[in-house]
Chain A
């Protein structure tokens, strides 16, 4: 990924949007050769006008409405700071009663815990299942986004966000319908995991095969088998490509991403 200035021109002789953006961000220096070009080029002048208009709208409407959420999501802040944030949905007025109720429930739970240890399974699942995929390509690691391309020899690593203690499986479906079990690394059943967001041990090294591949991370509060998952995949594979296969007909939480494998970079 470059961090240098892009000063190349395209077939029309104009700098790209990227180069123009870099010039604007750099303070529209008059000493830059782009300055003279923009002044004499109606096409580039229009590009800059479009950016200026978008900037005005952003500063007037978008920034004030979104900055709180952006800062909150970008910062790793303690929970007590988040809940007291001005634009937090629970705000201060709800916080004190909520903390009181939580405390009472906690005390009741602690009192009853020794007597209810063998009761019904703790299957209340809150939150959503998430999946982040990282790819290591020629020594550099980055997040792999949906729809991107990978190459033979690339290593993939998975970091699911698990909502509660339960059972997890990671499988992939190739365009030809074949199914690979990525996690657990062996066996034919889902692995028991704890709530949280930890990278799964080990990584997948991609072979020479090419084409689309979709990865599913599957989570349930009950144990489930690879056979069950394969049956579900086979029942829907005929309806389209892996890109269109956004969910499996299984009663469990699912997160998915798709990528394409190409032979040469």
Chain B
């Protein structure tokens, strides 16, 4: 892939990467850094893909993994303020913010971070278990089992509070 092809692909797919990183990290600067790292990793893993829509599952997988790593590694010293976006009364950002908060807090204590990735895709992205299984290359049974495990973990977390 030459420079102009990479640039074109980045121009078209970058917004999806950036939006995903921004949703998870909630800090434009961190999301910008994560976007370039994630996109380079996506390209390294997807050189064989011809249809651009085929990149989306990889973007979801790699961006979620990368951003949860950033969060886990404690690169945030203090919680970032919410990102300014379009004002909507029933938008998914506001509606899922409580779920997102629980997921991110659980991410720091969970022993099995893949549970958190799956929970994020299910609760925040509204992905079906089949979609998650395809994106993460797992069986649907495993996805269901890990979702159950995550709910149990969050339940324990909430009770502890």
Contact = CB atoms under 8 A, between A and B. Distances in A.
Interface of A: 1-3, 5-6, 8-10, 12, 14-19, 21-22, 25-26, 42-43, 45-47, 49-55, 57-59, 61-63, 65-67, 69-71, 73-75, 137, 142-143, 145-149, 212, 241, 243, 260, 262, 264-265
16 contacts: A1-B57, A1-B58, A1-B135, A1-B137, A2-B54, A2-B135, A19-B131, A43-B92, A50-B19, A67-B7, A145-B65, A148-B114, A149-B138, A212-B111, A264-B139, A264-B142
Contact of A46 (B39, B93, B137): B93
A71 B7 contact: yes
B141 to A, nearest CB: 7
Given A46-B88, A62-B18, A2 B57 contact: yes
B110 to A, nearest CB: 9
B11 A18 contact: no
B40 A63 contact: no
A49 B88 contact: yes
Given A3-B57, A5-B53, A18-B57, A54 B12 contact: no
- The 6 lowest CB-CB distance pairs between A and B, nearest first, are A3-B54, A46-B91, A54-B19, A55-B15, A17-B125, A147-B113
B45 A142 contact: yes
Contacts of B137: 1, 137, 142
A19 B58 CA distance: 14
Contacts of B126: 10, 12, 14-17
Contacts of A260: 112, 114
Given A46-B90, A65-B32, A75-B1, 11 more contacts: A3-B53, A8-B128, A42-B88, A43-B95, A50-B91, A57-B18, A58-B35, A69-B36, A70-B10, A73-B40, A137-B137
Interface string B73-98: 00000000000011011111101000
Contacts of B16: 21, 25, 51
Interface in B124-160: 124-128, 130-131, 134-139, 141-142
Contact of B36 (A1, A14, A45, A70): A70
Contacts of B28: 57, 61
Contacts of B1: 74-75
Interface of B: 1-3, 6-7, 10-16, 18-19, 22, 28, 32, 35-36, 39-40, 43-45, 49, 51-54, 56-58, 60-62, 65, 68-69, 85-86, 88-93, 95, 111-114, 117, 124-128, 130-131, 134-139, 141-142
A53 B85 CA distance: 7
Contact of B142 (A55, A71, A142, A149): A149
Contacts of B44: 74, 143
A143 B62 CA distance: 11
Given A50-B93, A147-B68, A10 B127 contact: yes
A71 B131 contact: no
A16 B15 CA distance: 17
Contacts of B91: 43, 46-47, 49-50
B149 to A, nearest CB: 11
A232 B101 CA distance: 36
A3 B52 CA distance: 9
A74 B89 CA distance: 40
Given A25-B56, A50-B91, A241 B113 contact: no
A62 B10 CA distance: 11
A241 B110 CA distance: 11
A42 B89 CA distance: 9
Contacts of A147: 65, 68-69, 113-114, 117
